[in-house]
Structure 1
Amino acid sequence: MSNLMGKATALLNKFKAQARPQFDEFMRYAKVELTPPTPADFQHLRKTAKKAKKDVKGTRSRLGRVTVAEAWLNTLVTIEVITWFFMGEVIGRRHFVGYKV
């Protein structure tokens, strides 16, 4: 029984040693990314929202003046982005249809 406990302890120590660098990296990013927003963040968000609202108003007036060439180019770019997205999905699955489980 003590032999089993010794192996279990050794295995646990080995696991902790291997997981430590990944855990440290997670904690480094968590300190930056998972902090609650500050009042300065809300002010920046308010400014960004106002700018976006202003841009949308400008887009409405421009939307009726899009030429056929621009509309065709936008359509082609959209098709290309969608195609690359689905090709990335296939590459990630490493299979054309569904996931191999």
Structure 2
Amino acid sequence: MSQLVAKVQALANKMVVAARPQLAEFWRYAKVELSPPLPADFQKLKKTAGETASAKDVKARLGKFSIGQVTVSEAWLNILVTVEVITWFYMGEVIGRRHFVGYKV
């Protein structure tokens, strides 16, 4: 029994040594990415929101994409991209189900 306990302890020690670099990297990123926002962050957001373009500027920039000003080649390209995205969505569904027609019940 003592040999079994010694083997389990040795295995646990090996696992801790092997996992230590990955956990250190995880904690390094977690401290930055998972921390709550600071008051300075809200001030920065408020300042950035004040600098954004007004609705008139946005309409002026997007005016080209109104119905009457898109060329046929741009419209065709938009249709092809849309069809491609939809196709990849449905192929992902089929791959996820691992079956072409519905789910196996």
Which residue number in structure 2 is paired with residue 79 of structure 1? 82
Larger CA Rg, structure 1 vs 2: 2
Give the TM-score, by structure 1 length.
Answer: 0.63
SS at match of 2:71: helix
Provide the rounded CA distance (Å) in 2 between the counterparts of 1:69 and 1:49: 34
Q: CA deviation at 1:26?
A: 0.5
Q: Residues 35 and 13 from structure 1, CA distance in 2 versus in 1: closer, same or farther, beyond 3 angstroms?
A: same
* Aligned residue pair count: 95
Stretches of structure 2 that go unaligned for 5 or more consecutive residues are 100-105
Which residue number in structure 2 is paired with residue 11 of structure 1? 11
SS at match of 1:4: helix
Percentage of identical aligned residues = 40
Give the TM-score, by structure 2 length.
Answer: 0.61
Q: CA deviation at 1:38?
A: 1.9
Q: How does 1:18-97 map to 2 (within 5 A)?
A: 18-52=18-52, 54-60=53-59, 66=66, 67-69=69-71, 72=75, 75-76=78-79, 79=82, 82=85, 86=89, 90=92, 96-97=95-96
